[in-house]
Amino acid sequence: MADPDPGSNNLLVDCQEPHCEVLDLETTTVWQAQGPISSEAYAALEVPAKHVKVGIGTGVMHAHYFRRSPGAETDDPLNEREVDGHRFIQCANSPKGGPETPVGDDPRLLRVDEYHSLVFDGETWCL
């Protein structure tokens, strides 16, 4: 893995703050909020037609790095889009058949294709 460029959209460094994801049901692409989003903002988030909110959560890693958007031929900045005033990055593609365990309109188990590395600083314990 090349050294992540802290100015690129490939590197997210605020992982211990809540982030959310949205699934485009037509293209099966998964989009992650590039910045933190509060539970209230997530609840109020209006997604485009044929999209569903996948969930909101936090991570224990210090950063995570996406080498490329799925389907890209080379390591490059990620595809971006705006959803209800928030910037999202294309972080994954879900299977064309949809989630393995759908519950209503919300997927509960969704295996994805992504180019993703979790980064830990090696000096801090995450419990």
- The 10s digit of each residue's pLDDT in 50-69 is 999 988 988 877 777 888 88
Q: Considering the chain, what is the average pLDDT of its residues?
A: 79
Residue 5 in this model has a pLDDT that exceeds 90: no
CA 50 vs CA 67, 103, 121: distances in Å: 27, 16, 38
- The 10s digit of each residue's pLDDT in 64-122 is 788 888 888 888 888 899 999 999 999 888 777 666 665 566 655 566 666 666 666 76
